[in-house]
Amino acid sequence: MGNGTKLVVIREYANDYEAHIAKGVLENNGIMSIINNEIMSSVYTLTLNSIGYIKLLVRQEDVAQANMILEESEEHDS
């Protein structure tokens, strides 16, 4: 992701494994993503909610497609 790329938070997760699953789903569908706050979750596992959730970010131009892919994945898992 280049310097001029605007990133948008599309999901927030309470734990890192859910964030990594979503990241993998997106990347398997050709959408690059970034996980933010991952280090904080592993260092402060008991107080993460006060610090903030783990955020999954994608490029602004990928938001609609990424949301659609994750919604389909979540429906399939239900």
pLDDT per position as a tens digit, 4-61: 789 999 999 988 899 999 999 999 999 999 998 754 444 555 444 555 689 999 999 9
According to the model, what pLDDT value does residue 5 have? Answer: 85
According to the model, what pLDDT value does residue 52 have? Answer: 66
pTM listed for this prediction: 0.78
List of residues 6+ apart from 1 with CB closer than 8 A: 7, 32, 34, 59
Query: What single-letter amino acid sits at 39?
Result: I
User: What value does the mean pLDDT take over residues 67-73?
Assistant: 96
State the angle between helix axes of 63-77 and 16-28 in degrees (0 to 180), rounded to the nearest 10. 110
| Rounded Cα distance, 25 and 46, in Å | 27
On whether the CB atoms of residues 56 and 35 are closer than 8 A, the answer is yes
- The correct answer on CATH 3.30.70 for the domain covering 7-77 is yes
According to the model, what pLDDT value does residue 53 have? Answer: 84
